[in-house]
Amino acid sequence: MFDLAIVGGGPAGAAAAVYAARKHLKSILVTESFGGQSTESADVQNWIGTKHISGAELARALEEHAREYAGEFLDIRPRVRVSKVEKRDEGFVLFDATGKEVGTSHAVLIATGGTRRTLDVPGATEFENKGLTYCASCDGPLFSGQDTVVVGGGNAGFETAAQLLAYARSVTLVHRGADFSKADARTVETVCAHENMTALLNTEPVEVKGGAFVEGVVVKDKTTGKTRTIPAAGVFVEIGMIPSTELVKGVVELDAIGRIKVDCRNQRASIPGVWAAGDCTDGLYHQNNIAAGDAVKALEDIYFFLRAAK
């Protein structure tokens, strides 16, 4: 029986594995793959300590760092998807997609992240990573001095617009709803007051166009039915995320969109023995560095939880 089971191989899972091994907690790391969502990024510029790194290189670095500690205190199980976590009197049991038991542990850290909702219009798939992106923090600076479009009118959309306004020539935010009620009112007011900002309501993208790279977005006015093309070199999609939390549904408390509710002070979930870190949680902000920090914070708490229980 392990002290700790870590589920997920992104920045949170890898950080947790390193810290758990260094604290001599007998741990198991189970993950389908390493790297998390950033594996799709051609150039990650905000991973602290590294000026430039591709998503693929970041994934390799995370795996190599975790494997450096594999051995007596860390068992790594790659290419395994945990489909269910079950609470039992003696601890927790992990099951894979076939229903086979993967391992048992006294504590569990869920670091499974999530998947971004993708834009489902012609051209979106073809131009992904060729001007269309799902991460402004990763790719935004690449569009300095250029025209950009943000799809999505929630807080994430306006936060992305605020980032882009620092260096883009223009930002046009496209929202299919009739108002911006899903976003913080003060943020909306501040962002919309910028001279290079345009916010469109009742408007939806219907096509992404370009040659080798994105050149514009065709949008439709839902009121009139008319379409027009907005010139843009960069398209930033912020239409929500689907958290990967089915494995703990019914075990811990989830919010309205399925994210694990945690205490932000220590990353504890709603029942003793379960922690969560990164994009699968209801934390206010989600980035690679934040996910890794969440995991480190959780490990400090897990260590004292396990040692106090012995």
Helices (H), ranges, the chain:
11-22, 55-67, 136-139, 155-164, 185-192, 288-309
pLDDT at 152: 96
**CA pair distance 266, 300, nearest whole angstrom:** 8
If you average pLDDT over every residue of the chain, what do you get? 94
Q: Which amino acid is at 95?
A: F
Share of the chain above pLDDT 70, in %: 99
Question: Average of pLDDT values for 226-239?
Answer: 97
Q: Which residues are catalytic?
A: 135, 138-139
Which pLDDT band holds residue 309 (cuts at 50, 70, 90)? low
**CA pair distance 38, 5, nearest whole angstrom:** 23
pLDDT at 116: 85
Q: In terms of CATH architecture, what is 118-237?
A: 3-Layer(bba) Sandwich (3.50)
The full set of domain ranges for the chain reads 2-115+241-309, 118-237
pLDDT at 156: 85
pLDDT at 278: 96
Of the chain, the end-to-end C-alpha distance in Å amounts to 14
pLDDT at 90: 86
Q: Using an 8 Å Cβ cutoff, are 273 and 240 in contact?
A: no
Question: Average of pLDDT values for 61-88?
Answer: 97
Question: The pTM is what?
Answer: 0.78
Question: Average of pLDDT values for 131-139?
Answer: 87
pLDDT at 310: 58
Same fold, 2-115+241-309 and 118-237: yes
**CA pair distance 284, 302, nearest whole angstrom:** 22
**CA pair distance 242, 18, nearest whole angstrom:** 27
DSSP 8-state secondary structure symbol assigned to residue 66: H
Decide if pLDDT at 140 tops 70: yes
Q: Could you give the angle at the alpha carbon of 191 between the alpha carbons of 189 and 197, nearest 5°?
A: 120
User: β-strand 132-133 against 147-151: which pairing, if any?
Assistant: unpaired
**CA pair distance 74, 65, nearest whole angstrom:** 12
Decide if pLDDT at 308 tops 90: no
pLDDT tens digits for range 146-202 = 999 999 998 889 989 999 999 999 999 999 999 999 888 998 999 999 999 999 999
pLDDT tens digits for range 49-71 = 999 898 899 999 999 999 999 99
Q: The tokens 């709603």 sit on which residue? A: 270
DSSP 8-state secondary structure symbol assigned to residue 82: E
Helices (H), ranges, 165-257:
185-192
Domain 2-115+241-309 is found in CATH 3.40.30.10? no
